[in-house]
Every structure is written in C-alpha cells, then in structure tokens.
C-alpha cells in the first residue's frame, strides 16, 4: 500500500509539473503581451514588414523556444530577443518595451525611428545587447542606462543624439563594444570609457568621431594633428604671399631703375642736339 501511495504521489506531481509547463507555453506572459502590443503601436511600418504582428499573436507569441513573430526569438516561453533591422520602420520606441523583462538583445538598427531613447530601458535588467544605430533618434543618452549591468554592446552611431556621454556608462564592467560616432554629442569623453589598456584606450577614436562638440582622449591627439595641419596650411599660405610680394617689389625696383636710365639717356641726347645761343 505504501509503495502504491508513493507511486501515485509521484505520478500526480509529474502531471502537475507537465500541466504548469504546458500552461506557460500555451499563454503569453502578460508583460510580454503589453510590451509587444505597445511597441507595434509606436512604430510605423510603411513596407508592411510587421503585418504578422497582430493582437492574436501578441496573446501567444511563443511556444517554448519557437516564436510566431518575425524578428522575435523566444526562450522558455518568453521573448528574449528582438531584431527588427533594416525594415524602413518609422515612429518611436515605446517606453512599454521595458515590460519585456526577459529581453537580452534589442536591435532596431538601420531604420528611420525618431524621438528619444526611453529611459524606461533601464528596467531591462537582463539586456546584454542594445543596437539602435543608423536611425533618427534625438535627445540625450540617459544615465540610467548604466543600470543594465549586463550590457556588452551599446551601439548608437549615426543618430542625432545630443548632450554629454553619461559618466555612468564607463562603470559597465562587461561593456566590450561602444559606438556613439556621428551624432551631436558634446563635452568631455568619460574617463572610464577612454582608460588605457596597455598602450591602447578602452575604446578608440572611431567610437567617438563625428561629434563636433566632443573632446578628450582618444580624440585629443587627433585634434592636435588637425591643428598642426591647419597651422601648416596657414604658414604655407603666408609664406607664398610674402614670396609673391618680394618678387613683385623686386620687379618694380628693376623697372624703375631701367626707366630712370632711359630718361637720363634721352635727356643727354636732347641737350647735345640743342644749338648754342
């Protein structure tokens, strides 16, 4: 009897686990549903690349590791990766994106998305990759982005971002790729993003170029070389100008001497030809 009860208990336990697993896989996490629904509403899709992003799918976007949404990847029934690159998308990034709490990679690069980067991204505590490059994003980079402690990649190049680079981003210990080139950023490059590793900075100048108001190492040396080039050009111009003046002045002096000599010779001839009275 005891063995029979133990067997029945184990069987019931396994059935409960199977039921719970099936329940999770058959219905979306309400946070993911809110995330996807609002993201779709905030984006314009003139090329209809997101035509399958509908409310029916949002209620059940995943089946285990299988996703029913183009551009989305699932892990254990949750959205953990969104890759919507080069789809001619417009609009803005929904702050409700933070509801996808299991998200580890977000790539919306090479679109025409505008507006600010929502500070709510700070609540994506599992985020490792953030690529919003080649869009039309504006405003400042939120210091709270540093709360995403697992970030390995921050790629924001070719946007219209302004203001300083937050010092806090330099404290991201896992950060291995960082690019904010070709924006409208200003101020000094944070020390912890430009610290030397041996003879090289943590991130080189290519991560920061194309921001007229940005300065500091590793851009500092480039600025000096540019300054020397400008000075050299100015020096060459001045030298050429002075040389031209000297040549012109010498030419004028020679012409005056020749003219004076001719005048003197003519006067001598005239005086010889005049009769004596």
Q: What is the pLDDT of residue 197?
A: 61
Q: What percent of the chain has pLDDT over 90?
A: 63
Whether the Cβ atoms of residue 202 and residue 194 lie closer than 8 Å to each other: yes
| Whether residue 267 has pLDDT greater than 70 | no
Strand partners of residue 160: 138
Q: What is the pLDDT of residue 198?
A: 58
Three-state DSSP at 129 gives strand
Q: How many CB atoms lie within 10 A of CB 126?
A: 14
217-222: list long-range contacts, CB under 8 Å, 24+ apart: 217/189, 218/189, 218/194, 219/189
Strand partners of residue 155: 131, 179
Distances (CA, A) of 22 to 11, 26, 68, 77: 16, 6, 17, 10
pLDDT digits (tens, 9 = 90+) for 237-253: 444 544 454 545 455 44
Q: Under CATH, which number does the domain 24-215 receive?
A: 3.80.10.10
Q: How confident is the model at residue 194 (pLDDT cuts 50, 70, 90)?
A: confident
Q: What is the pLDDT of residue 262?
A: 56
Q: How confident is the model at residue 273 (pLDDT cuts 50, 70, 90)?
A: very low
| Whether residue 20 has pLDDT greater than 50 | no
Q: How confident is the model at residue 263 (pLDDT cuts 50, 70, 90)?
A: very low
One-character DSSP codes across 169-215: GGG-TT--EEE--SSEEEEEPPHHHH-EETTEESS-GGGT-S-TEEE
**Euclidean distance between CA atoms 153 and 256, whole angstroms:** 75
Distances (CA, A) of 250 to 157, 236, 256, 261, 270: 57, 21, 10, 17, 31
Q: How confident is the model at residue 187 (pLDDT cuts 50, 70, 90)?
A: very high
Q: What percent of the chain has pLDDT over 70?
A: 67
Residue whose token pair is 């030419």:
251
Is this model's pTM higher than 0.85 or not? no
Whether the Cβ atoms of residue 223 and residue 199 lie closer than 8 Å to each other: no
Strand partners of residue 153: 129, 177
Residue whose token pair is 């899709």:
45
Across 140-149, average pLDDT: 97
Which residue has better confidence, 257 or 231?
A: 257
Across 169-195, average pLDDT: 94
């Amino acid at each position: 009897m005891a063995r029979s009860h133990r067997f029945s208990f184990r069987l019931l336990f396994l059935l409960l686990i199977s039921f719970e697993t099936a329940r999770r896989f058959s219905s979306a996490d309400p946070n993911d549903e809110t995330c996807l629904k609002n993201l779709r509403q905030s984006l314009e899709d003139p090329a209809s690349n997101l035509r399958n992003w509908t409310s029916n799918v949002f209620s059940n976007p995943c089946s285990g590791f299988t996703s029913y949404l183009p551009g989305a990847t699932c892990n254990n029934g949750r959205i953990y990766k969104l890759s919507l690159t080069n789809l001619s998308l417009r609009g803005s990034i929904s702050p409700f994106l933070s509801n996808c709490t299991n998200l580890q990679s977000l790539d919306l690069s090479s679109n025409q998305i505008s507006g600010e980067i929502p500070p709510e991204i700070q609540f994506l505590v599992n985020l490792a990759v953030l690529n919003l490059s080649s869009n039309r994003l504006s405003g400042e980079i939120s210091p709270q982005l540093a709360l995403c402690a697992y970030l390995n990649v921050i790629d924001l190049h070719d946007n219209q971002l302004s203001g300083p680079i937050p010092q806090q981003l330099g404290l991201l210990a896992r950060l291995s790729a960082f690019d904010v080139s070709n924006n409208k950023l200003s101020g000094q490059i944070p020390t912890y993003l430009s610290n030397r590793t041996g003879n090289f900075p943590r991130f080189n100048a290519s991560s920061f170029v194309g921001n007229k108001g940005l300065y500091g190492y590793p851009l500092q040396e480039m600025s000096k070389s540019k300054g020397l080039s400008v000075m050299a050009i100015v020096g060459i111009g001045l030298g050429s100008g002075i040389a031209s003046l000297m040549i012109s002045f010498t030419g004028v002096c020679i012409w005056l001497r020749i003219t004076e000599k001719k005048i003197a010779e003519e006067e001598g001839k005239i005086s010889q030809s005049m009769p004596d009275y």
